Structure formats: C-alpha cells, structure tokens
Amino acid sequence: MNKRRLLVLAGLAALAIVVMVNLGYINQFVKLLRQVRWYVFPLVIAIQGLSYYANAKYYQTFFDIFNYHIQTGRLYRAALAINFVNQVFPSGGVSGASFLARELDGDVPAGKATLAQLVRYIFTFISFLAVLAVGVILLLVGGDLNQITVRLTLLFLLVIVVVALLLVTVAADRQRVEVLALRIIRPLNRLVGLFRRRRRPLLTDAAVGRFFDEFYGGYHLLLEEKGHWRRPLLYALAGNVAEVATVYVVFLAFGAAVNPGIAIAAYTLANIVSLAAFVTSGVGVYEAAMITAFVALGVPLALAISVTVVYRVLNLALYLPPGFYFYRQSL
C-alpha cells in the first residue's frame, strides 16, 4: 500500500472515530431539528465560510511580510484541510502546522510555515482580548454582569495572557526547543528504521537544523517588522468574531435573543478548558464547559444544552467533509 493511500485511509478512519464519539450529540441534534428555525443553516454556513476566509487571509498577509505571495483560494482550501487535520488528528495544533508546511512545500520554507501557525495561535489569543472586552461591556450594559461573571472574566484574561506569554517564551529559546526536538526525532528515526528496508532516517540532524534556521530567521524578522502585524491581527480578530457570531445565530434559531456577551463568555470558557484536553480535541470537555458557562450566566439548562449541541454538530458536520476532500486532494 502506497503512502498516499495509507494517509487517506488514516484520515477516513479518524473521521469515522470523530463521528462515533459525537454520535450522542448527533442523535440529540436530529431531535432538536424541529425546534430550530430554518435560517440557522444558511447563516451558519455563511458565517463559518467567512471564518475560514479570515484564516486564509491571515496566512496570506503573514506570508506577505516575508515576500511569499500565495493565492487566497489555495490558502482557503488549506484552512479547511487544517481544520479537518486538527479535529481528527488532535495534537495541540502540531498536525495542522505539519500539514501547512507540506501543502506549501516549494513556495514557503517549512520553518516559516510552522511559524505562521504558531503566530496564528498567539494572534488569536491576543485578538480575543478585544472580543472579551466587548463581551464584558455588553454584559455590564445588559445587567448580566454578576460576581461569577467577573471571576470568570478575570480567569479568561489570566489564561489568555499566560498562554500567549508561554508560547512566545518557548518559541524564543531556540537551543532548548531544538534539543527537545532532537530528543524526540532521534528515537523516532530508530523506531521507523526497524520497519524500513533502507534504514534512512525520516529527519536527519542537518534537516532539523535547516528547519530551525528558517523558523528563527523568520521569527527575528517578524520582530523587526512590527508595523506589518496589523493586518494578520485584524484577520485573527475577524476569525474570532465569526466563531462567536455562529454561537449567537444558534441562539436566534431557537428564538432566544440573549445578550451577545453570554455567547462570547461561553465560547471563551469552552476554548480555554478544551486546551487542557487537546489530545481528544476537547470532545466532551468543550461541550460541558460551554453549557456550564451558559447556565452560570442565567441561560436555562435546556436551552444551554440545545444551543451547544446544535452549534457543535453544525460546526463539525458542515466543514469537516470539505476539509477531508481538500486534505485528500493535497495528498
């Protein structure tokens, strides 16, 4: 069996596992369809489409800083495939970074493609501070800001700042990162060599060195080009706004015009808590955190469960299939 077919089968198997894990939510979703207003589907499709467009434009404006000019359509397809890869091969974003590097091979060095993915997470955290600030103001104006909300908001802010600083600190220490990478890659090379006729390593030390030369060369250039950060940051912000808007649209589909700050707070908590469960892509943990936040902010439990189930199933069902298609095409 060739490598391409093996990767396609692995993708299909992982997709099947995601479906099986979420089967309970899918059954609930089918039962809830009668309560959902019809316009939720085109609206969610459109808003999520804009979210992936924002991701594509983030990559494009980021690579423009280094004079790598990639077409938006190609990056849009890559953004859909990255979402698929990160969902079915949960690894804290490593799978998505590897896919992007492979997809742009020949046009963008792997080190800079990986840097683009890392900076995307950092910019997403930073831009979400603005979204969260708007959410707090909306909760305050709407009279929904209570002691629990204040504590949750402070927790959100602390986690966002800590994670962003941690990512920057880890990335800045080349020696430590490179030593850690070699400690992982060398045993992996030996293990893979047991199953290959020619015991050539998957990655040589020289190849790892070239990768980090590209990565840190881009990292230092990026620090010198702070004036060009505005556009990637704005597109990271647009992606966050689109995701929160999707949650709010689902509320509207149930006839509940809640305070938008509630959608912002619940979405933030779900994403922060799911960071601790990246190995499972946050399945189960994400939903529980979102429901808990909704209820803490005064949303009835039945409505909180209904909105979370519909949002989560639509989020996965609408864009995982095209993501798999473009993943397969890239192979």
Residue 160, domain extent: 23-330
Indicate whether 9 pLDDT > 60. yes
Q: Which of 27-36, 60-69, 114-123, 204-213 is predicted with the least confidence, judged by mean pLDDT?
A: 204-213
pLDDT > 70 fraction of the chain, expressed in percent and rounded: 73
**CA 310, CA 29: separation in Å to the nearest integer?**
6
Structural domain count of the chain: 1
**CA 197, CA 95: separation in Å to the nearest integer?**
27
What pLDDT does 79 receive?
92
The number of angstroms, rounded, from the C-alpha of 110 to the middle of its chain's C-alpha atoms is 19
Residue 8 included in any domain: no
The dihedrals phi and psi of 278, each to the nearest 5 degrees, come to -65, -25
Coil, strand or helix: which one is 310? helix
pLDDT tens by residue, 250-266: 888 888 888 888 888 88
- Residue 22 exposed, middle or buried by CB count within 10 Å (0-12, 13-18, 19+): buried
What pLDDT does 99 receive?
84
Q: Residue 181 corresponds to which amino acid?
A: A
Residue 202 included in any domain: yes
Reading the block at residue 99, the tokens are: 């896919």
Residue 297 included in any domain: yes
Most confident region among 28-42, 233-247, 316-330 by mean pLDDT = 233-247
Choice between 8 and 137, residue whose per-residue pLDDT is larger: 137
Average pLDDT, stretch 41-60?
A: 91
What pLDDT does 277 receive?
53
Residue 4 included in any domain: no
Residue 16 included in any domain: no
What pLDDT does 141 receive?
77
User: Which whole-number Å values give the CA distances from 80 to 87, 192, 288, 312, in the listed order?
Assistant: 11, 30, 26, 17
Q: Which of 115-124, 139-148, 207-216, 225-234 is predicted with the least confidence, judged by mean pLDDT?
A: 139-148
Taking Cα atoms as reference points, which of 87, 55, 91 lies closest to residue 320? 87
Q: How many residues does the chain have?
A: 331
The pTM for the full model equals 0.80
pLDDT band at 280 (very low <50, low <70, confident <90, very high): very low
Q: What is the mean pLDDT of the chain?
A: 78
What pLDDT does 20 receive?
65
**CA 247, CA 262: separation in Å to the nearest integer?**
10
Indicate whether 196 pLDDT > 70. no
pLDDT band at 203 (very low <50, low <70, confident <90, very high): low
**CA 315, CA 79: separation in Å to the nearest integer?**
14
Residue 279 included in any domain: yes
Most confident region among 3-7, 113-117, 214-218 by mean pLDDT = 113-117
pLDDT tens by residue, 171-188: 677 777 777 777 777 776
What pLDDT does 197 receive?
57
Choice between 74 and 273, residue whose per-residue pLDDT is larger: 74
Indicate whether 36 pLDDT > 70. yes
Indicate whether 16 pLDDT > 70. no
